[in-house]
A and B are shown apart, each in its own frame.
Chain A
């Protein structure tokens, strides 16, 4: 899940295993959700997005699941690789204006 402050939640997985990163969002009016990956020393990189009228969307090795009932978003990464090690952020579009609200992030560490 998400948290704020200096101590980001960390997920450690073995190479080849599947990873699930969770995010709780705040606004039931949010109409669009985005997952970003940020490697050390780099800018956030777009991974996948999903509209609020969808429950699931798949990309290459990634799947995003949206549960609007409990305002929960998850990112599943299949066959996790060392190159997947990064901080992962979810972001929600509040449905008005042009702004995104970002979570604090989750650290993913992949053990070889």
Chain B
């Protein structure tokens, strides 16, 4: 039981490049989330998916898109990366209770 996994672990992009961050969970959770964490800050919600087939914007959705591919997988796409998107990205999932379980993170640097 791996919990929540994320790929890649690290990525360096040039401004304007695109990429997709992958997330998968094996806990049969319905809801999945994408957060970003900037230095010295808490977590800010980018997008979430309450259940398979649905997605909703969070606090900071601009510049991102998401896909809930199936119950296990939830991807985050940056269409045209900007230096302001340099951050650590975390994926999380939850079952019925509010407690969310997090992946190890993807560290993204946009030059």
Q: List 21 A-B contacts (CB under 8 A).
A: A5-B40, A8-B40, A32-B99, A34-B98, A41-B105, A42-B104, A43-B90, A44-B43, A44-B90, A44-B102, A49-B99, A98-B31, A98-B48, A98-B50, A98-B94, A99-B45, A100-B98, A100-B100, A102-B43, A103-B42, A105-B42
Give the CA-CA distance A98 to B33 in the complex, in Å.
10
B40 contacts across to A, CB distance below 8 A? 5-8, 104
How many chain A residues sit at the interface, stated as a range, is 20 to 34
Give the CA-CA distance A106 to B58 in the complex, in Å.
24
Overall SS of chain A's interface: loop
B94 contacts across to A, CB distance below 8 A? 98
A42 contacts across to B, CB distance below 8 A? 104-105
A49 contacts across to B, CB distance below 8 A? 97-99
How many chain B residues sit at the interface, stated as a range, is 20 to 34
B40 CB to nearest chain A CB (Å): 4
Tell me the A residues contacting B by CB distance below 8 Å: 4-8, 31-32, 34, 36, 41-46, 49, 89, 91, 93, 98-100, 102-105
B84 CB to nearest chain A CB (Å): 16
Tell me the B residues contacting A by CB distance below 8 Å: 4, 31, 33, 39-43, 45, 48, 50, 58, 90, 94, 97-105
Q: Are B103 and A43 in contact (CB under 8 A)?
A: yes
Give the CA-CA distance A46 to B93 in the complex, in Å.
12
Give the CA-CA distance A112 to B29 in the complex, in Å.
40
Q: Are A89 and B42 in contact (CB under 8 A)?
A: yes
**A43-B102, A43-B105 known; A104+B41 contact, CB < 8 A:** yes
**A4-B41, A5-B41, A8-B40 known; A99+B58 contact, CB < 8 A:** yes
Give the CA-CA distance A70 to B41 in the complex, in Å.
24
B108 CB to nearest chain A CB (Å): 14
A5 contacts across to B, CB distance below 8 A? 40-41
Q: Are B99 and A34 in contact (CB under 8 A)?
A: yes
Give the CA-CA distance A42 to B101 in the complex, in Å.
12
Give the CA-CA distance A103 to B40 in the complex, in Å.
11
